[in-house]
């Protein structure tokens, strides 16, 4: 299958043609249902206001995570002589405790690592179990399930990959033992970590927590109310799991004792994950997806995570923007580039082990120039995906998926740069806690229907497949192979626009990390132009004059940015979340 990834799709297409095509009424009903799913997914983690901006400088090392305690844990590993990979393990272990609604060992991740000009990508995305079929999220009448119905079902849980991704990174670049790396999280789990303002607010808003005994007993008090900010919340089950991994190593997570425990509890909740599914999970290690990039008379590369991650679209967006007419205003060029790139994503992007994703075609000079030429003086409205040889005929996916996610980025004293975006999908994932972990609902990132208008969707469900993701940790490197910018964010399909915006502003000359993470968002997902609440009236008016249909929305990004400066490193954490930057 991996040798000829297009073959399965070609056969499926040929088989699909012998069946009667769906009626117009059926296709319309599907489209309406999928639009409702997309609307529900629009804000998996609600905005909770702005927090103090955290900016730090350092000559040797830098850490930016979504929580001060995670940043402190990572920085302590760097000060102890650890690597960026070591610090990543410590940071993620703590984030799973203090920011459990966003990420953890029960979810999946994409990781990017750069050193000495070599950039490596690690895919720790969740996989569908062997029992999964294309009808997983279809009801008896073949209509897609409602999103809340699908996510609060144990069959939405994919086999987690974050531990495997971190294990791969540690094996290659780690210097400290897992026992040391997990010590901060173990101590916090045993003595109690304070409930943050954001966790309190999100717990108070989430009606599904109370419906699940496992989450109600942890996130809510005996009266069913969320624990107030500052409450020290203990997680002894998580401490037990971490102690086992500290002693036995990360592979213990996938071996018999823990595999049996996770699978038995998930099956009791309705999952069809088997012990074999759990035990055979593997993270994928590949070269990062990179393309040449020029800016301010300099040359270098932009590198991101390849499909099924969203790095392909981030890179396409940036290439389109830089190839467009430079006389056009930056906001307009940025929006139109995102519009075109997102159209391509919704048709072509998926797990490349199952679908032939035309990466080289989408990023070829000829294709980029032809698409960039479509960026004119006026807003284009909704556009179609381009034709890319040798991609097969596929339907455009109307689902606009979002995720409950976290991002962190780290630079160590030896010059290793690491950026990692980690997720359990919706805020609080599947609302199932197993062994102290919130389990993901990442399989709802698949398209809920396998086809539209007689054409297959690239991101349809399949056994062993990894769902498409917008997560896209990204690095920009100079001509000498040294990283000069690291960026990533949570935010679902808006991640692509968040990351594209930061890179675009950096290319345009804004090199202050604090300004990059604080700038108001402007993005487009091939439709209405979305402006962050508080967007300047003059810039808004300039866009409407060019024909943009605009709306304001709260955007709970969580950018983590590190910039190489002449005198060292500068990091900044997005003030829309509770992150912290620190360095030395």
Q: What whole-number distance in Å separates Cα of residue 459 and Cα of residue 154?
A: 20
Kindly give the pairing relationship between strand 62-65 and strand 193-194: unpaired
Residue with tokens 């995102």: 338
Instruction: Give residue 15's region: left, alpha or beta (phi > 0; psi -120 to 50).
Output: alpha
Q: What whole-number distance in Å separates Cα of residue 196 and Cα of residue 173?
A: 32
How many C-alpha atoms does 384 have within 13 Å on its Cβ side?
5
List the one residue out of 343, 324, 292 whose CA is nearest residue 493: 343
Give the active site residue among 405, 421, 500, 529: 405
The two tokens of residue 89 are 């393990």
Q: What whole-number distance in Å separates Cα of residue 242 and Cα of residue 96?
A: 11
* 34 in Cβ contact with 449 (< 8 Å): yes
Q: Write down how long the chain is.
A: 584
Q: Sign of the C-alpha dihedral, residues 494, 500, 503, 505?
A: negative
* 46 in Cβ contact with 205 (< 8 Å): yes
Q: What whole-number distance in Å separates Cα of residue 47 and Cα of residue 298?
A: 37
* 358 in Cβ contact with 388 (< 8 Å): yes
Q: What whole-number distance in Å separates Cα of residue 166 and Cα of residue 168?
A: 5
Cα separation of the two ends of the chain: 48
**Could you give the 3-state DSSP secondary structure of residue 10?**
helix
Task: Say whether the peptide bond before residue 532 is cis (omega within 30 degrees of 0).
Answer: no
Whether residue 313 lies in the annotated active site: no
For 405-418, give the secondary structure using H, E and C. Answer: EEEEEEECCCCCEE
Residue 327: Cβ-neighbour burial (10 angstroms; 0-12, 13-18, 19+):
exposed
* 288 in Cβ contact with 119 (< 8 Å): yes
Residues with catalytic function: 405
């Amino acid at each position: 299958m991996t040798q000829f990834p297009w073959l399965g799709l070609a056969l499926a297409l040929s088989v699909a043609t012998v069946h009667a095509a769906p009626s117009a009424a059926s296709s319309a009903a599907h489209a309406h249902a999928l639009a409702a799913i997309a609307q529900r997914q629009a804000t998996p983690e609600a905005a909770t206001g702005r927090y103090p901006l955290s900016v730090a400088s350092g000559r040797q090392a830098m850490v930016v995570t979504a929580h001060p305690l995670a940043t402190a844990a990572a920085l302590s590993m760097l000060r102890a002589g650890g690597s960026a990979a070591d610090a990543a393990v410590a940071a993620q272990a703590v984030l799973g405790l203090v920011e459990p609604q966003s990420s953890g060992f029960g979810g999946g991740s994409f990781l990017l690592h750069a050193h000495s000009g070599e950039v490596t990508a690690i895919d720790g995305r969740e996989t569908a179990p062997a029992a999964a079929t294309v009808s997983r999220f279809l009801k008896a009448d073949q209509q897609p399930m409602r999103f809340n119905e699908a996510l609060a079902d144990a069959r939405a849980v994919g086999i987690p990959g974050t531990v495997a991704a971190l294990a791969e990174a540690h094996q290659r670049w780690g210097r400290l033992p897992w026992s040391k790396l997990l010590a901060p999280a173990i101590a916090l789990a045993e003595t109690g970590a304070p409930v943050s303002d954001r966790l309190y607010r999100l717990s108070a808003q989430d009606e599904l927590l109370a419906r699940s005994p496992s989450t109600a007993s942890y996130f809510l008090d005996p009266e069913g109310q969320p624990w107030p900010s500052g409450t020290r919340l203990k997680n002894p089950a998580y401490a037990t799991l971490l102690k086992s991994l500290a002693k036995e190593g990360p592979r213990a997570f996938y071996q018999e004792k823990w595999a049996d425990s996770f699978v038995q509890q998930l099956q009791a909740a309705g999952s069809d994950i088997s012990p074999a599914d759990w035990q055979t999970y593997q993270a994928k290690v590949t070269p990062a997806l990179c393309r040449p990039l020029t800016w301010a008379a300099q040359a270098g590369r932009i590198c991101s995570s390849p499909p099924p991650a969203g790095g392909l679209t981030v890179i396409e967006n940036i290439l389109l923007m830089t190839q467009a007419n430079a006389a056009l205003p930056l906001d307009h060029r940025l929006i139109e580039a995102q519009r075109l790139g997102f159209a391509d994503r919704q048709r072509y992007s998926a797990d490349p082990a199952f679908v032939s994703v035309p990466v080289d075609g989408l990023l070829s000079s000829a294709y980029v120039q032809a698409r960039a030429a479509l960026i004119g003086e006026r807003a284009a409205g909704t556009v179609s995906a381009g034709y890319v040889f040798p991609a097969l005929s596929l339907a455009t996916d109307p689902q606009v998926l979002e995720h409950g996610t976290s991002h962190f980025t780290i630079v160590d004293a030896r010059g290793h740069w690491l950026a990692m975006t980690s997720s359990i999908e919706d805020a609080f994932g599947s609302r199932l806690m197993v062994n102290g972990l919130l389990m993901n609902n990442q399989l709802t990132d698949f398209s809920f229907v396998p086809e539209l208008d007689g054409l297959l969707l690239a991101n349809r469900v399949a056994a062993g497949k990894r769902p498409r993701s917008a997560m896209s940790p990204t690095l920009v490197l100079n001509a000498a192979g040294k990283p000069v910018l690291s960026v990533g964010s949570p935010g679902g399909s808006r991640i692509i626009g968040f990351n594209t915006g930061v890179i675009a502003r950096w290319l345009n000359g804004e090199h202050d990390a604090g300004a990059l993470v604080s700038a108001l968002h402007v993005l487009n997902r091939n439709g209405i132009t979305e402006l962050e609440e508080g967007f300047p009236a003059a810039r808004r008016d300039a866009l409407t004059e060019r024909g943009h249909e605009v709306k304001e929305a709260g955007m709970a990004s969580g950018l983590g940015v590190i910039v190489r400066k002449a005198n060292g490193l500068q990091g900044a954490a997005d003030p829309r979340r509770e992150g912290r930057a620190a360095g030395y």
